[in-house]
Amino acid sequence: MGIGADGLLEREPALAVLDAAASAAAAGRGSVVLVTGEAGIGKSSLVRAWCASAGSRVRVLWGACDDLVTARAFGPLRDATCGTGGHLEAVLAEGAGEAVFEAVLGEMSGGEPTAFVVEDLHWADDATLDVLGYLARRIGDLPAVLIVTIREGAVPEGDPVHRWVGRLAGCPVHRVAPAPLSDAAVDVLAAGSGWDTTALVELTGGNPFFVTEVLAGRAPDRFSVPASVADAVIARVAQLGQECRADLLQLSVVPGTVPFELVDALLGDRLDALAEAEVRGMIEVRLDGVAFRHELARRAVEASLTGLHRRALHRAVLAALQRSPVPDLVRIVHHATAAGDVDAVVRFAARAGREAAAAGSHRQALAHFEAAVAHLDRLGPRERAALLDDHAWELHNAHRFADALRAGGAAVALYTRLGEQVALGEARVRLSRYHYLAGNTEQAQVVARQAVEDLRGAGSAGATAHALTYHGAALALGGDTAVASAVLDEAHAAAERCGREDLAALCLNYQSIARPGLSGEARIALVRESLERALAGGHHEAAARGYTNLGELLHRYGRLAELEACVTEGLDFTTGRGFWSHAYNLSVHRCLLQLRRGEWDAAGEGLAALVDRDEDPGMLRLYAEPAHGRLLARRGDPAAEDVLTTAWERGRRQGSVLGLAYTGTALVEWALLNGRTDVVAAVLDEWRRHAGRPAAEPAWAELLRYAQRAGVPVTPLLDTVPEGCPEPWAAALRGDWRAAARAFEAAGEPYEAALELMASGAVEPMLQAVRALDDLGATPAASAARRRLRELGVRTIPRGPQAATRAHPAGLTSRQADVLDLLAEGLTNAEIAQRLVVSVRTVDHHVSTILGKLGVPSRRHASRLARSLASA
C-alpha cells in the first residue's frame, strides 16, 4: 500500500498513467484519459491531486457538468475558459456554436501542454459531447490531454455518453478505474478513530468518500453507528452552528459549483458563517465558486429537507438568479421547475430551449421546450405557435417523427388562424421534412407545395427559396424528377439572388438525382460540388446531407473505395455535430460496403445494432432492414422472408425511389435463393415505371440481372437499361459473364463475382464459385451451385458445411449450438443475448434458424431435443 505526498492511498498506478499522458502530450502526442468508477471512489480527488502535483508542467483547464434538470450548453467549456481571455472564451460568449469546434482545437494547440479536465461527463449536454468528440478524434496530434471522469452505472447503453465513449475507438485512450481501498488502507485512515476496520469496510465497501464521511462523524458506539453514509453526512451537518447549517441547507439545492455571485446574492452578510463548514471539510472554495466536497454529500443534505423547505430554498435561488443582469437561463428553469413556479417556467424555458438549440444541444433544447409546452394554455396564440414549431424541430432531431408531425401540424394550424403567411410557409417547409422522414413522401410533396404557395409574394425572398428547395427535393425523392429538376433550377436561382448559399448547395445536391441525361460521374460530381460549397460556407446541415447523398450515389454506382472514404469522413462530421439521422444513414452504408466486400460478420453486427435501436428511424428503416434481411437470406436464415417482404411493402407505401431500390433488390435476391419466380416478376412489374428515371439505372440493372439468374424472361426489358449503367451489371446483362465476374472481382465484390461464375454453366467456373461461396458462408447459393454441378454429372464436388457444422448431429453451427445449449438452460432470448454479447435481434434469428434445422415448432421442443442430444 502506498501513501502519496498528496495523501491519496493506493493511487500510484493511476497517477502514473496521468504522468505518462502528460509527458506524451508535451511531445505533441495527445490522448484521452477516461477515469471511471462508482460515486465516491475518488475520481475527482485523483485528478485534482494530479493537477496540483503537475505544477508548471501543464496548463490546467477545469470544467464540470452539473446535475441540473437540463444541462447547460457547453457548460464545462465555459467553466474551463472563464477569465482566460482567449478566443474560445470569446466564441462561447458570442453563442457561435459551430465556431466552438475550431476554437477548442486552437485552445489546445498552444505552446505549453494543456490538461483539459471535464468532470462528471455523465451529465453532459449534446453540444459538449459533440465538441469533446471532435477534439478526441484529433487529440493525437495536439499537445493536450483530455481527462474525463464518468460515474459508473450512470450511463445506460444507448445513452449519448455511452455512444460518445464507443466512438473513441481509434483514438489514443487511457482508461483509469480507481479501485475501492483495501482493508490495509482503511486501517490507516481509521487509526485512532475507535472504529473497527472490518466493520468500517463492511459499512463502506472501501469507498474512500464513504470512509472519510463516516470517520468524520461522532466516535462509534452502538447508538451512533450510521445506517448509511447519508446518515453520517446529516449527523455532521447537525454539529454545525445554526447560521452555518442554514447556509449549507440553502446551498444544498444548487447542483455543482455555486458561482460566487450567486453565493453572495443568497447569503449576503451571512457568508462568513460558512467558514465553519469549510474548516470541517464539508465544502470547498474553488476558483469559480463554492461546492460541497462531493455531490453525494450535497444530495444527502438536500434529501433531508422537507418538501416545503426545499421549495422555499429553490424560490430563493430563483429570485437571486432573476436579479442577475445576465440571467443563466438553464439554472433559472431548473430552479423554477423545482420551486413549482409555472410563470417562471413559461417565461424562461422556451428561451433556454432556443439557446440550447443554437448551441447544438438538441436533447437539452427538447427538454426545455417540453417543460414549456406543458403550459401552452398560458401563452398567446403567436407564442404558442412559435413554441410548437420549435418543439417539432427538436422532436424530429430526436427521431420522434410522429410527435414532430403532431406538434408541427398544430403550429401550422395556429399560424393559419393568425394569418401570418411567412411564418406559416416556413412551418410548412419543416412539416414537409417530418412527413418525408416519417415515411410519407406524397404528403411531404403536398405540404411543400403549399409552403411555396404561402410564400410567393409574401415579401420574403429567403423563405420562398427555402420552400422551393424543399418542394424540389421532395419531388426528386419521390421520383417526379422532370418537375423536380425545373423546381430546383428555380430554387437555385432564388437562393443565389438572396445569398442563401446553404439552399443553393442543397439544390445542387438534389439535382444529382433529378436532372435527366447525366452520367453517373456527373451526378456524383454535382453532389461533391454541393458538399464543398456547404463546407466552405459553414452550412453544416447542408453538408451533412451532402455526405449522405454522396454515399448513396457512390453505393449505387459501385464506387466502393470512394464510398469508404465518404463514410469515414461523413461519420466523423455528422457524429461530431449531432446529426444523428445522417449518421444513421452513413452507418447503414458502411454496413452495405462491408456486405459487398464479403465482410459479413462485421456487416451483420452493425446492421443488427442499427435495426435494434430504440428510436424510430422513420424512412431510414428502408435502408437498414433490407440490408439486414439480404444478409440473412445469403446465410439461409428463414427469418429473411418476413424481414424483406415487410420492408418491400413499407417501401411501396412510402413511395421513395431509393427505398424501392433498396427493398426491391434485396427481396429479388431472396426470391432467387428460394425459387420464388413469382416474387421476382411482381417486383419487376412494380419497378418498371421507375426504370427510366435519373440515377435509377444501377438498381434497375441489378433487378434485371437477378431476374435472369432466377430464370425469369427479361429480354423485352433489356432495352430499358439506360447508358451509364455500372459496367459489371452492364456486362452481365449482355451475357458476358466472364467480364462481369472479372469486374466484380476487381471491385472487391466476391459474392457477385461468384454468382456470375455460377451463371456460366461451365464446370470449372462453377467449382470456383462453390469454393468462394463456402468461404463467405453463403449456404443457399453454394447449395444451388452444387445441385447444378451434380446435374452436369460432376462427381467430385467440394464438401460444403464446415467441420463444426458437420460434427453437430443436427447440422448446427457452433454459435447455433451455443444458443441451443442456453435454450436448454431455460434462458430467454434477452438473457442469451447478454450471455453471448450479441443483440436480442441476432438471438431471435438464431432461434428461428435452429427451430427450422431441428424441425420443431417451439422453444420448448428445441430444449427437449437439445437435452436428448446431449445425453445421446
Q: What is the C-alpha separation between 348 and 321, in angstroms, rounded?
A: 12
Decide if pLDDT at 807 tops 70: no
How many separate domains does the chain show? 7
Q: Give Cβ neighbours of residue 270 (< 8 Å, ≥ 6 apart).
A: 243, 246, 247
Question: Does 828 share its domain with 785?
Answer: no
So what's the pLDDT on residue 2? 52
- Taking residues 115-144, report their average pLDDT: 93
Question: Does 409 share its domain with 485?
Answer: yes
Identify whether the C-beta of residue 569 lies closer than 8 Å to the C-beta of residue 547: yes
Secondary structure of 336-397 in the HEC alphabet?
HHHHCCHHHHHHHHHHHHHHHHHHCCHHHHHHHHHHHHCCHHHCCHHHHHHHHHHHHHHHHH
Question: Does 716 share its domain with 835?
Answer: no
Q: What is the C-alpha separation between 147 and 598, in angstroms, rounded?
A: 39
For residue 705, being part of any structural domain is answered with yes
Secondary structure of 182-232 in the HEC alphabet?
CHHHHHHHHCCCCCCHHHHHHHHCCCHHHHHHHHHCCCCCCCCCCCCHHHH
So what's the pLDDT on residue 465? 97
So what's the pLDDT on residue 8? 87
Q: In this structure, how many other beta carbons lie within 10 angstroms of the beta carbon of residue 761?
A: 10
776: enclosing H helix or E strand: helix 763-776
Question: What strands lie across the sheet with 289-292, from one edge to the other?
Answer: 258-259, 289-292, 283-286
Q: Give Cβ neighbours of residue 604 (< 8 Å, ≥ 6 apart).
A: 628, 631, 842
Question: Does 704 share its domain with 791?
Answer: no
For residue 823, being part of any structural domain is answered with yes
**Nearest in space to 846 (alpha carbons), one of 827, 864, 867:** 827
**Nearest in space to 505 (alpha carbons), one of 484, 486, 485, 526:** 526
Taking the alpha carbons of 149, 154, 156, 160 in that order, is the dihedral positive or negative? negative
So what's the pLDDT on residue 804? 42
Decide if pLDDT at 838 tops 80: no
For residue 849, being part of any structural domain is answered with yes
**689 φ, ψ to 5°?**
-75, -15
Q: Give Cβ neighbours of residue 281 (< 8 Å, ≥ 6 apart).
A: 216, 293
Decide if pLDDT at 16 tops 90: yes
So what's the pLDDT on residue 841? 57
**Nearest in space to 91 (alpha carbons), one of 481, 485, 359, 426:** 359
- Taking residues 834-863, report their average pLDDT: 71
Place of cell 434529501: 303
Question: Does 664 share its domain with 764?
Answer: no
Q: What is the DSSP string of 245-310?
A: HHHHHHHTTS-S-EEHHHHHHHHGGGGGGGHHHHHTTSEEEETTEEEESSHHHHHHHHHTS-HHHH
As beta bridge partners, residue 175 has 34
Q: Which of 487, 516, 545 is the last residue of a domain?
A: 516
Q: What is the C-alpha separation between 550 and 381, in angstroms, rounded?
A: 42
Question: Does 18 share its domain with 156?
Answer: yes
In tens, the pLDDT along 484-542 reads: 999 999 999 999 999 999 999 999 999 999 999 999 999 999 999 999 999 999 898 89
So what's the pLDDT on residue 833? 72
**Nearest in space to 297 (alpha carbons), one of 357, 210, 168:** 210
Question: Does 158 share its domain with 114?
Answer: yes
In tens, the pLDDT along 424-475 reads: 999 999 999 999 999 899 999 999 999 999 999 888 999 999 999 999 999 9
**Nearest in space to 630 (alpha carbons), one of 592, 597, 601, 660:** 592
Question: Does 201 share its domain with 259?
Answer: yes
Strands 258-259 and 289-292: antiparallel
Looking up residue 130, the CATH number of its domain turns out to be 3.40.50.300
Decide if pLDDT at 871 tops 70: no
The residue with greater pLDDT, 823 or 544, is: 544
- Taking residues 551-577, report their average pLDDT: 93
So what's the pLDDT on residue 814? 62
**Nearest in space to 146 (alpha carbons), one of 158, 129, 166:** 129
Q: What is the C-alpha separation between 135 and 120, in angstroms, rounded?
A: 18
Question: Does 16 share its domain with 150?
Answer: yes
Decide if pLDDT at 806 tops 80: no
Decide if pLDDT at 13 tops 70: yes
**Nearest in space to 771 (alpha carbons), one of 762, 781, 761:** 781
In tens, the pLDDT along 236-273 reads: 899 999 999 999 999 999 999 999 999 999 998 888 89
Q: Is 169 buried (19+), middle (13-18) or exposed (0-12) by CB count in 10 A?
A: exposed
Domain hosting residue 751, numbered range? 735-800
Looking up residue 814, the CATH number of its domain turns out to be 1.10.10.10
Task: Name the average pLDDT for the chain.
Answer: 89
For residue 774, being part of any structural domain is answered with yes
The highest-confidence range among 35-44, 95-104, 547-556, by mean pLDDT, is: 547-556
In tens, the pLDDT along 757-792 reads: 999 999 999 999 999 999 899 999 999 999 999 999
Question: Does 745 share its domain with 829?
Answer: no
Q: In this structure, how many other beta carbons lie within 10 angstroms of the beta carbon of residue 749?
A: 20
Question: Does 165 share its domain with 150?
Answer: yes
Q: How large a percentage of the chain has pLDDT more than 90?
A: 64
**Nearest in space to 356 (alpha carbons), one of 103, 571, 616, 68:** 68
Question: Does 611 share its domain with 629?
Answer: no
Band of the pLDDT at 5, cuts 50, 70, 90? Answer: very low
Decide if pLDDT at 99 tops 90: no
For residue 1, being part of any structural domain is answered with no
So what's the pLDDT on residue 577? 77
Q: Which of 700, 725, 750 is the last residue of a domain?
A: 725
789: enclosing H helix or E strand: helix 779-791
Looking up residue 384, the CATH number of its domain turns out to be 1.25.40.10
Q: What is residue 863's three-state secondary structure?
A: helix
Q: What is residue 429's three-state secondary structure?
A: helix
Written as one letter, the residue type at 771 is R
- Taking residues 801-815, report their average pLDDT: 59
As beta bridge partners, residue 290 has 258, 285
Longest Cα–Cα distance of the chain, Å, equals 102
Identify whether the C-beta of residue 743 lies closer than 8 Å to the C-beta of residue 719: no
For residue 5, being part of any structural domain is answered with no
The residue with greater pLDDT, 614 or 386, is: 386
For residue 444, being part of any structural domain is answered with yes
So what's the pLDDT on residue 773? 93
Q: Which of 566, 590, 615 is the last residue of a domain?
A: 615
Identify whether the C-beta of residue 592 lies closer than 8 Å to the C-beta of residue 564: no
So what's the pLDDT on residue 222? 40
127-141, 151-165, 197-211, 366-380: which range is least confident on average?
151-165
Decide if pLDDT at 805 tops 60: no
> Cα(first)–Cα(last) distance of the chain, in Å?
55
In tens, the pLDDT along 34-44 reads: 999 988 899 99
So what's the pLDDT on residue 264? 94
Q: What is residue 837's three-state secondary structure?
A: coil
For residue 3, being part of any structural domain is answered with no
- Taking residues 133-156, report their average pLDDT: 92
Decide if pLDDT at 157 tops 90: no
So what's the pLDDT on residue 340? 95
